[in-house]
A and B are shown apart, each in its own frame.
Chain A
Amino acid sequence: MINRIITLLKKDILLEFRQKHTFYGVLLYIASTIFVLYLSIESPDANVWNGLFWTIQLFICVNAVAKSFLQESKGRMLYFYSIASPVEFIVAKMIYNLLLMIVMSLLSLFLFTIFLGNPLQNSLWFIGIVVLGGASISIVFTLMSAIAAKAQQNAALIAILGFPVILPQLLLLMRLSKAAFAEVFRAGAVMHLSFLIMGLDILVIAMAVILFPYLWKD
């Protein structure tokens, strides 16, 4: 089972290297969005910076993860269907999207600090939060992308389906990131929040593994 997950993961990564245009497309999307922000607001304060950062993460994720199911043609899905189980397939997709999103999140963090200044007091903390946040967002949107791929007008549907579902986690992440802006938290509150987000992630993964087999058959 693990072997097959790794094979599927390798296939996705290989595909990414072969079709570089999609990867660069998302990179360009990140760069141009942040550049637009840079032109429209100059050195935002920490609160605005935080809000903008997470909102941009959300849109990047919609763009980066959306293609994970849309790019698979019907014939290829049938092929996967014959060689792998749905659980292996969704787990491979989630791991792949998670890696992709973490890379994208870190890149956008880098661009944010270049263009919009760096209000962070504790950068290491924030990098950790960004990795956690990127992981949470990408897992949720993987399943949303799988659902939306089944419907006809899918790209817009991902945002509609995903935004309300991701909101609780996003609010927790924004709250947690304030720890990196030198806001004083109650003792243990930071750990508490992180565990809550991780708990939600585990819930999402469990739901995805349980529910994906029903999406998969046609």
Chain B
Amino acid sequence: MLKKNWWKILSLLLLIYTVIAGYLNKVPDLPIIHQSIRNLYFHVCMWFAMMILFIISFVYSIKYLRGFNLRKDIFASNFAAVGTFFGILGYSTGAIWANYTWITDQSQSLGSVLKEPKLIGAAISLLIYGAYFVLRGSFTDMDKRARISAVYNIFAFALLFPSIWIIPRLVGSLHPGAPGSDSGNPALNAQNDLDLGMRLVFYPAVIGWTLLGVWIATLKIRLQLFKDKTLINA
């Protein structure tokens, strides 16, 4: 049991560590951000987990098209679902954070602040996976649904990648990781953004949240496999 489930225990321990150390450790007191910098352990990790889950989903879609094994389709769709969930969490933690750090002028609305290249990229990714699930819902035939949605998943992921990773880097933005911001590029600049104490919490937090995402996905997959047992073995 321990041999197979060590990573679940690791995930739990890392997340306990993240929450306790994340709230208690010493953080650099930067202007504007102040103590809200602790959101880094949650907000940024959500995106890491989302991206990793989407990549897993993308790989399973390719695997599905190579062998037309329905198990692979169940894997792909559930990883995409959990990834979308993490994306929504990442977006909302980011919106709360932006509400307190980016709005410098009282007359500014959150809506105007959120029109950022990086945030548009994030919104696109959520829309794409929303469309993916609408597409899945429009089929009644399982094999057809699996095949067509795998094609869309691969295509959408190929276009999602530049919209998250390339385009935001080319245009100015308030968000760290853009050429206009003073934090440098890439997003996590070791000299400016993170001191050693924060990194000691941040990296374990990324691993912990990602493992939690994979854990949730595997539970969903097992449930689905159990439900479709007769169909898949047939």
Contact = CB atoms under 8 A, between A and B. Distances in A.
Interface of A: 143, 147, 150-153, 157, 160-161, 163-165, 167-168, 171-172, 175, 192, 196, 200, 203-204, 207-208, 211, 214-215, 218
Contacts of B190: none
B138 A167 contact: no
Contact of A214 (B120, B130, B147): B147
Contacts of A161: 131, 134-135, 152
Contact of B162 (A152, A164, A168): A168
A161 to B, nearest CB: 5
Q: Which 7 A-B pairs have the closest CB atoms?
A: A164-B127, A168-B163, A151-B138, A164-B128, A211-B151, A161-B131, A150-B148
B226 interface: no
B23 interface: no
Contact of B155 (A152, A157, A163, A211): A211
A215 B166 CA distance: 29
B138 A157 contact: yes
Contacts of B10: none
Contacts of A175: 171
B155 A143 contact: yes
B139 interface: yes
B110 interface: no
Given A147-B135, A215-B151, 17 more contacts: A147-B151, A150-B139, A150-B148, A151-B139, A157-B134, A161-B131, A161-B134, A161-B135, A161-B152, A163-B127, A167-B120, A168-B162, A200-B162, A211-B151, A211-B154, A214-B65, A215-B148
Contacts of B134: 157, 160-161
A168 B154 contact: no
Interface in B107-164: 117, 120-121, 124, 127-128, 130-131, 134-135, 138-139, 144, 147-148, 150-152, 154-156, 158-159, 162-163
A168 B167 contact: yes
Contacts of B163: 167-168
B128 A207 contact: no
A215 B170 CA distance: 34
25 contacts: A143-B155, A147-B135, A147-B151, A151-B135, A157-B134, A157-B138, A161-B134, A161-B135, A163-B127, A164-B127, A165-B131, A165-B155, A167-B124, A168-B163, A171-B117, A192-B170, A200-B162, A203-B158, A203-B162, A207-B158, A208-B155, A211-B155, A214-B65, A214-B151, A215-B148
A164 B131 CA distance: 8
Contact of A147 (B127, B128, B152, B158): B152
